[in-house]
Amino acid sequence: MEKTFSKTDAVTNQQEMYRQILEYSIENIMIHTNCEVLYLNEACTHFLRCTKERAHGSCVLDLFEEGTKKTVQNRVEQTMNGAEMPRKIEDIITRSDGTKVAVEIYCNPVMYGNQKAIQSVFRDITLRKEAERWMKDQDKLASVGQIAAGIAHEVKNPLTAVKGFLQLLEESHPHAYLTTMKSELNIAINTLTNLLHVSKPDLYEEEIVPIYLCKEVDALLLLFQDRFYDIKVELFLKDTEIYILGKRNLFLKAFFNLFKNAIEAIEGNGKITIEHFILGDTVHIKMHDTGVGIPKDKIKLLGTPFYTSKTQGTGLGLTQVFTTIIDHGGTLTINSHVDCGTTFHIQLPTKHHRSH
């Protein structure tokens, strides 16, 4: 008996073949029409952290932030209507488990069975965005160096000369005003010295040596013992035998600045938690304080020279921290919530130093 295939059967078979081809692709592929999800392959279910059953029939726009849904919807509608639109979209999406990820989405009109649809390919660009942010940090620090070089040579030397004459004057004609002037002048010179150190750390020639960060953290904490009556310190130090290569004094100063900031952020009683552990070839150091926290819109300004929330601060402490970490091939991320505290997360490659 001869079996007859209808046009509907042909369309169904064509759709099934298309799905089988997509199913084994390593790309994260979704098919949707009028923003309704018709199909996503296995790779896309893992990427979006959902099941095919849950995704089928859902709205594509649910992946996007509220502020960008309308723009994405317009792009989808215009593409469906055959308008020539840019194929690539860059945005932040929220996956089924609530995690956010930066993506690049390539959209193309296709025929899915007997209906017009859009094939979207999702690509994770988190690492690329991190690299772009790192490059911006490098540019920011490079500009700091140019500023510091000019300030240091044009201002510091004359101030040092003035300080010398003040000392001579104080010896022959002691006066309380002279003592105050010398004290204020020392503050100005120290500020310039710190700025110079941030921008040109190699002016202070220092040997590249193995640095056991756990040992240095323990030693530095002793300097703050007088503050630990009100503040509790918890240490979770794993992989203590691991070391990095770098300039030890720069790291001592960087961690000193971090400890000092953490302590000053805590009003009254509080806690500082310090972690050290290894993941792969990377050393992770996390420092969390239960201090006042930092507003979200201010976090991106941290590390900028002369930006500070302290009445007596200069902002150069965190600039030095960023400079040291980046100079040694590492990264520094900051998470903070007002009235809940701040976490500094440092990642450094083991046994590595990036030469200038």
Strands 36-40 and 28-33, by their bridges, are antiparallel
Cβ pair 272, 316 in contact under 8 A = no
**DSSP string computed for 103-119:** EEEEEEEEEETTEEEEE
Rounded to whole angstroms, the Cα distance separating 142 from 196 reads 12
244-246-248-252 Cα dihedral, nearest 10 degrees: -80
Q: What is the mean pLDDT of residues 37-45?
A: 91
pLDDT band at 236 (very low <50, low <70, confident <90, very high): very high
Q: What is the mean pLDDT of the chain?
A: 79
Rounded to whole angstroms, the Cα distance separating 141 from 293 reads 24
**DSSP string computed for 269-304:** SEEEEEEEEEETTEEEEEEEE-SS---HHHHTTTTS
- Confidence at residue 287, expressed as pLDDT on a 0 to 100 scale: 92
| CATH class held by domain 8-124 | alpha beta
**Spans of all domains in the chain:** 8-124, 126-205, 207-356
Rounded to whole angstroms, the Cα distance separating 243 from 213 reads 7
Distant-in-sequence, close-in-space partners of 169: CB < 8 Å, separation ≥ 6 = 178
Cβ pair 270, 231 in contact under 8 A = yes
232-238-243-246 Cα dihedral, nearest 10 degrees: -40
List residues bridging with 233 in a β-sheet.
Answer: 272
- CB-side exposure of 270: number of CA atoms within 13 Å? 20
Task: Give the right CATH number for 126-205 from 1.10.10, 1.10.3470, 1.10.287, 1.10.357.
Answer: 1.10.287
Rounded to whole angstroms, the Cα distance separating 270 from 98 reads 31
Cβ pair 155, 185 in contact under 8 A = no
Q: Which residue's structure tokens are 């201010």? A: 298
**DSSP string computed for 131-142:** HHHHHHHHHHHH
Which tens digits make up the pLDDT trace of 163-210? Answer: 787 888 888 888 888 888 888 888 777 777 666 555 555 545 678 888
- Confidence at residue 327, expressed as pLDDT on a 0 to 100 scale: 82
- Confidence at residue 30, expressed as pLDDT on a 0 to 100 scale: 92
Q: What is the mean pLDDT of residues 69-79?
A: 84
Task: Reply yes or no on whether the pLDDT at 281 is more than 70.
Answer: yes
Distant-in-sequence, close-in-space partners of 309: CB < 8 Å, separation ≥ 6 = 294, 298
- In degrees, to the nearest 5, what angle opens at C-alpha 188 toward C-alphas 182 and 192? 140
Q: Say whether pTM exceeds 0.75.
A: no
- Confidence at residue 309, expressed as pLDDT on a 0 to 100 scale: 58
For residue 305, which of 295, 291, 320, 290 has the smallest C-alpha distance? 320
For residue 52, which of 24, 23, 78 has the smallest C-alpha distance? 23
Task: Reply yes or no on whether the pLDDT at 1 is more than 50.
Answer: no
Amino acid at 210: P
CA distances from 90 to 26, 61, 86 (A): 20, 14, 11
Which tens digits make up the pLDDT trace of 287-328? Answer: 999 988 888 877 776 766 555 555 555 556 787 888 888 888
- Confidence at residue 356, expressed as pLDDT on a 0 to 100 scale: 41
The domain defined by 207-356 folds into: Heat Shock Protein 90 (3.30.565)
The tokens of 61 are what? 């726009």
131: exposed, middle or buried (Cβ count in 10 Å: 0-12, 13-18, 19+) = exposed
For residue 208, which of 33, 329, 346, 84 has the smallest C-alpha distance? 329
